[in-house]
Amino acid sequence: MRRIWRGSATAALALLAAVPFGTSAGDSQRGKQLYESRCIACHSIDENRVGPAHKGVFGRRAGQAEGYDYSPAVKASRLVWNQKNLNRWLANPGKVIPGTKMGYSVSEAKDRADLIEYLKTESRG
């Protein structure tokens, strides 16, 4: 009994340790891999697909990818894609801009941080 409890407590601690808190910088390499498995169905960096192209998105106002047909909600939004807003967006797009047609969310904070780091890198280019 006791040993089982200790085991699961250790596992829980290990889990916690794997998820950095706060604004610790993400890992852009890992972010790229995540992007290529999770976002690639709808997005690419330089082409509009089902979702808008992401080149230059970091630091830009929402709804500005040229030639992409945004939802009225995103088009009208005055939000700027900084670290904080992207993090909230990826956790729950519909909560940040109600009425958006992006229904995809990323539940792990570490994954979001890495994805944002990758978008930042790509936005510089």
Partner 1 sequence: MSILIPNSLARRSFLSKSGLILSGTGVALLSGHDALAKSKSDSANDVDILNVALGLEHEGINAYTLGAKSGLLQKPVLDIAVRFQTDHKEHRDALAATIRKLGGKPVEEKSLAEYAKALKADTLKSQADVLELAVRLELGATNAYLGVIPSLKDVQLAKVAARLAADETLHWTILNNALGKPLPAGGMPFGA
Listed residue (86, 25, 21) closest to 58, CA to CA = 86
59 binds, among ligand HEC, partner 1, none (CB under 5 to 8 A by kind): none
CB atoms within 10 A of CB 90: 24
Enumerate residues 68-97 that contact partner 1 by CB under 8 A: 71, 93-94
Token pair 């979702």 is at which residue?
51
Q: Return the SS3 of 61.
A: strand
Cβ atoms of 89 and 56 within 8 Å: the answer is: no
Separation of alpha carbons 56 and 62, rounded Å: 11
Closest separation in Å from C-beta 119 to ligand HEC: 6
Identify which range of 5-13, 15-23, 54-62, 105-113 contacts partner 1 by CB under 8 A: 105-113
Binding residues for ligand HEC, rule: CB under 6 A, are: 38-39, 41-43, 50-52, 57, 62-65, 70-71, 73-74, 81, 90, 100-102, 104, 106, 115
23 binds, among partner 1, ligand HEC, none (CB under 5 to 8 A by kind): none
Cβ atoms of 34 and 111 within 8 Å: the answer is: yes
Closest separation in Å from C-beta 2 to partner 1: 28
Residues that bind partner 1 in the complex, under the rule CB under 8 A:
36-42, 44, 47-51, 71, 93-94, 99-108, 111
